[in-house]
Structure 1
Amino acid sequence: MPIKSSVHPAPQTTTTPLSPRHPDSSTTPPSHHIGAPPTTFKNPWPSFSTPGLHTLMKTRFKTTHQNYVPVPSSRATLVQVRVPDFTPSTSSTSNGLKATWIGHASFLIETTRAEGAARGMRIMLDPVWSERVGPYGLVGPVRFTPPPCTIDELPDIDAVCISHDHYDHLDSETLKKLNARQNGDLRFLCGLGVKSVLLGLGVGIRDEQVTEMDWWDGVRVAREGVGSVDVVCTPAQHQSGRSPWSFFKSLWCSWVVNEGGDEGKRLFFAGDTGYCHVTSDTQHSHHDAPHPPCPAFTEIGQLYGPFDLALLPIGCYSPRSVLSGQHSSPEDSIAIHKNVRSKKSIGMHYGTFRGAMSANYEPVTEPPERWKKAAEAEGLEWGTEVGVCDIGETVVV
């Protein structure tokens, strides 16, 4: 039997560090680090707060609630699913920065096709195809809306961005399949501490494939014959950990995707984030909060905006007294839309998985309804400045 070679061919996709751009609030050492070098991380703003363990457990295992609504049995009332079209653009009118929603927080991004290139740079954001997201696939939320395609039906991908290590954003089976179909020629971009998680999954990802970044760090991802794109790790207000003993051990983040140049398009992916902690379940947004909102989004908008497209979370936000510090309500994400100076924002992080904490508090059909209502209350044009899309649909800007 021939011995398989452990030598991998030179990757066609490369990464080069960019010079960091920091906001005026940056400190040395960074305020979100605990330890030097950091062993854990924190949200360094008054806008974040997390309830104690007793409150969390009481809320998590409370089995009844007056607002409980089961997932509708008819798909007609749920997010619609369409077969995605990954055909390369052949005309200038259809060419642009593209975002195809796979469900929850998973997107396939393709940059504007450069002149003479067959396609643009392709980046997967928080890819998850599994039916259940949790330890060993045995516990955790179950998908109630299917993916629009199989992993094998995807086009070639250049890089994967991971916002944090929670199971509904970092899925081992999905990453294993993606890496295998690319024959290991795939770059993984993540926050500090997530590299050890990726390498420990046992899915074939190699050390040299992974680039860890702190907030405000960036890299240029390039592929010969295709082009390049700048990807910047930016702050989010959340937390991390795939087990109780790993809470806050790795860094959570949002991402900026910048085509570069005066004419290049810019995309902001918020990942999983809160905006401002509120103390009551009747308080829905930062307008009701006793503390100021998270300042990071205004800083992101100042340094990298305006954005042509923002992908913002609008689901899994209830109960507010427990989740508001780390999960944005639709009203909160309208504020984020304005803070980052987005020209168009699409709602995500809903319609696919029901959060374990929010299952007894949040109807799965509520997020897009509140998203639209909140947008119109702020005078934003629905479908033009703020909107939603089908799973499998491609938004082009």
Structure 2
Amino acid sequence: MPPTSFVNALPPHKPDAYTPAHHIGNPPTAFTNPWPSYQNSGLVSAFRARFNLPKNFVPVPADRLGLVQVRKPDFDSIATQKGLKSTWIGHASFLISTAAEAGKERGMNILLDPVWSDRVGPYGMVGPVRFTPPPCTIDELPEIDAVCISHDHYDHLDADTLRKLNAKQKGDVRFFCALGVKSVLTGLGADIHADQVEEMDWWDGVTVTKQGTGSVDIVCTPAQHRSGRAPWNIDGTLWCSWVIKESAEPGGKKLFFAGDTGYCHVLSNDQYSHHDAPHPPCPAFRDIGTLYGPFDLALVPVGCFKPRSILSGQHSSPEDSLSIHRDVRSKKSIGMHFGTFRGAFSASFEPVTEPVERWRKGAEAEGLEWGVDVGLCDVGGTVVV
């Protein structure tokens, strides 16, 4: 069945002197990070780092000491809470529920980068293995109105999850993605049809309205990352972050989802943030904060960030994400992209407990109040703003 929601474009809202410098070709056939804050380390450097850098492999604690807790979400109870709600499914997966509009039974339910699979990689046969289970099954989710995908990497776009979700919804769900990802979604074998998918460029925005439920604004915003599900299509699709705004009222709550992003390339594996780096930080986040901030809640990545000389351009350290928190002018930021999968590269260099430790230590060093300005939540936990 075709989706029962309606999508209308929002008026253009872009930075001054904007040009699509992230496009390669016209129309684009590939994409790039257009800022000095990004540097491609290259396959040779990555290969050398994997085999030459001193390893720091620490097994996942068998007793889960120091790992995030898992709780089963009570979606009926969550639906009765007032405010914009964000429930963490693990890694970069969240369920966002907007506040119910006057006279409506519920708000809009939006999934961000949903992944339920135990392994993320081609055909579910290779790739990182989940060490923290999802807090619920896909069938236990409430009705889903929209899905936003930040990019096509397997730990953010999972074929089996989307197949099950689309079947649960009987095709009545909208998918939002950046340029080039539409063909990935429709080619998954998940019975996702072209009329379900809205493909967007950076700074494009839409209002999604569902009769009897409400509406929400969704804006595709920049991120500093890469893409590709096969070696022959690296950077052939666009990556992005997302702005989600309750659109019924002028004062509707706003959420920023960073997806998977770097902040600034650093040269040394001893550097965890941009403060002493020769490169400037990515300017996109200040643009997002200027155009759409302040945000009531931001979801920012804090894990899978080592080794820094290879991953810093595309994966944020906890310290980098504290800068993103400030740049986008968020009132509260929650760490994500940790505690669920070990990165295929970072697994040999980053203990799974390190992101939490650095996120809290960095926040306190910058004078941010833990649990108020920045913090964490359990897998299955809900933050309400």
Q: Which TM-score tier does this pair reach, normalised by the shorter chain?
A: over 0.9
Taking the TM superposition and a 5 Å limit, the aligned residue runs for 1:69-84 are 69-84=58-73
Taking the TM superposition and a 5 Å limit, the aligned residue runs for 1:1-397 are 8=1, 10-27=2-19, 30-61=20-51, 65-87=54-76, 94-260=81-247, 261-397=249-385
- Deviations for 1:336-373, whole angstroms, at most 9, x for unmatched residues? 00000000000000000000110111000010110011
Aligned residues: 384
One-letter code of the match for 2:123?
Answer: Y
SS of alignment partner, residue 220 of structure 1:
strand
Aligned-partner Cα distance in 2 for 1:381–1:89: 25
Do 1:176 and 1:204's aligned partners in 2 also have CA atoms closer than 8 Å? yes
SS of alignment partner, residue 203 of structure 1:
coil
The offset of 1:60, in angstroms, is 3.2
Do 1:216 and 1:233's aligned partners in 2 also have CA atoms closer than 8 Å? yes
Aligned-partner Cα distance in 2 for 1:136–1:233: 28
The offset of 1:376, in angstroms, is 0.9
SS of alignment partner, residue 75 of structure 1:
coil
Aligned-partner Cα distance in 2 for 1:292–1:374: 20
Do 1:59 and 1:357's aligned partners in 2 also have CA atoms closer than 8 Å? no
The offset of 1:139, in angstroms, is 0.5
SS of alignment partner, residue 347 of structure 2:
coil
Do 1:254 and 1:269's aligned partners in 2 also have CA atoms closer than 8 Å? yes
Ranges in structure 1 where 5+ consecutive residues have no aligned partner:
1-7
TM-score, with structure 2 as normaliser: 0.98
SS of alignment partner, residue 266 of structure 2:
coil
Aligned Cα root-mean-square deviation (Å):
1.2
Aligned-partner Cα distance in 2 for 1:60–1:256: 35
The offset of 1:66, in angstroms, is 4.7
SS of alignment partner, residue 101 of structure 1:
strand
Do 2:173 and 2:196's aligned partners in 1 also have CA atoms closer than 8 Å? yes
The offset of 1:382, in angstroms, is 0.4
SS of alignment partner, residue 155 of structure 2:
coil
SS of alignment partner, residue 334 of structure 2:
strand
Ranges in structure 2 where 5+ consecutive residues have no aligned partner:
none
The offset of 1:297, in angstroms, is 0.1
One-letter code of the match for 1:65?
Answer: P
Identity %: 69
One-letter code of the match for 1:186?
Answer: V
TM-score, with structure 1 as normaliser: 0.95
Do 2:115 and 2:161's aligned partners in 1 also have CA atoms closer than 8 Å? yes
- Deviations for 1:35-91, whole angstroms, at most 9, x for unmatched residues? 0000000000000012121111222356x8353211111123211000012115676
One-letter code of the match for 1:53?
Answer: L
SS of alignment partner, residue 275 of structure 2:
helix
- Greater than 6 Å deviation, 4+ residue runs: none
Aligned-partner Cα distance in 2 for 1:59–1:291: 21
Do 1:13 and 1:223's aligned partners in 2 also have CA atoms closer than 8 Å? yes
The offset of 1:129, in angstroms, is 0.2
